[in-house]
Amino acid sequence: MHILSIATLFPNPVKPSFGVFVGNQMRAVVASGEVQLTMVSPVGVPPWPLSLREPYVRLKDIPEVSDAAGLCVHYPKFTTYPKVGGDTNPARIARAVLPLVRRLHAERPFDLVDAQFFFPDGPAAAIIARELGLPLTIKSRGADIHFWGQRPRALDQMRRAANQATGLLAVSRALREDMIALGMPADRIEIHYTGLDREKFHPIERGAARALVSAMPNLQISDEGPLVVTPGALIPRKGQGLVIEALARLPDARLALAGTGEDEARLKALARRLGVEERVHFLGLIDHELLPHVLCAADVLVLPSASEGLANVWIEGLACGTPIVIPDIGGAREIVSDENAGRIAARTPEAIASAVNDILARPPSQADVAEHVSRFSWGVNAHNIVRFWKGVLGQADTLAVDEARSA
């Protein structure tokens, strides 16, 4: 089975943590030995002079082909127009990718075209699949549905791609329902839960983990008081400001924000204004080697995102034995099944502070927390997506036979 997979969010030599969960999935797929995978990760480069500015200037250093992500990946460049041209990215991606994949298809034919996000990857992959005459699959992960599904031009492209696809995937049951509500065919949508690196993410005794991260001068995390951690890009959708406001109602707690992004200056100003800046630690970008220690050191993980499908960091936090506080979004209720896993709280500082206080008053054991994600692994995740692709190819073969008979 030769799969051509398209993913605009994928690790690369310049940003090795970019889309690390997609990289984990695809490495596990290759390790299964059942798939020959051709991975294509289109890189959007804005026109001059934007291409000379941060964060775009280093994109030119990404090679056309690299195995830095642990497997061979092609990185064709396409022109993108930041903040104004997102709705038109799929056509430009397809134009950039088609010469490459036509050549590769001629050398060794693909059986199926796969997209790892619904937008812009899905409509771009749909164009490529039509050009190559191949079946199509598309996976949805959350923001690709919730954000782009509100933009009419993007939604029209997503619906057409969904109707073309033989099979669709959603990372949670709740996201599947959101896709159906947008007009996507219910009978083609399967659930495909995320995976988990169980060698990295597992309980380390909280006191020992806290002592370790507190001893790291680059983190500057105090060893005093309960520790709340909020991982994720510092962008408005993730809601870190709500956690900082909640901290004002948690006088003994400290907050570690693990991530970088455009919202950092605003969040620092908010912490100063509320008088909690001494208790808010901006950790910057934390790699996947250190992140498990930070998660294990925390008493509670809080992530009040406006939207998620089923966040990988929910699973990683629970695997480390850290209860989570999250809103009632996406697959939240599929993960927080009882109070040992955490709390589902409204996106308000008051509700977040109340949920954190409740957990701190009656903390579950790390083992009981981790048990909630015992079914997750990248091996299971890879097995299920390979099974899905095989099923799609079986359907395509059956359809071809039926069409031949009717002819």
For residue 189, the SS3 value is strand
How does pLDDT run along the chain (407 residues), one tens digit per residue? 999 999 999 999 998 988 999 999 999 999 999 999 999 999 999 888 887 788 788 888 899 999 999 999 999 999 999 878 889 999 999 999 999 999 999 999 999 999 999 999 999 999 999 999 999 999 999 989 999 999 999 999 999 999 999 999 999 999 999 999 999 999 999 999 999 999 999 999 999 999 999 999 888 898 999 999 999 999 999 999 999 999 999 999 999 999 999 999 999 999 999 999 999 999 999 988 899 999 999 999 999 999 999 999 999 999 999 999 999 999 999 999 999 999 999 999 999 999 999 999 999 999 999 999 999 999 999 999 999 999 999 987 776 656 555 65
User: What is the structure's pLDDT at 220?
Assistant: 83
Q: What global pTM score does this model have?
A: 0.90
CA-atom Rg of the chain in angstroms: 22
Structure tokens at 177: 């329902």
3-state helix, strand, coil in the chain (%, to 5): 45, 15, 40
What angle separates helix 240-247 from helix 264-273, to the nearest 10 degrees?
20
Residues 6+ apart with CB under 8 A from 136: 112, 113, 114, 115, 125, 126, 129, 161, 164, 165, 166
- Find tokens 């692994």 and name the residue: 377
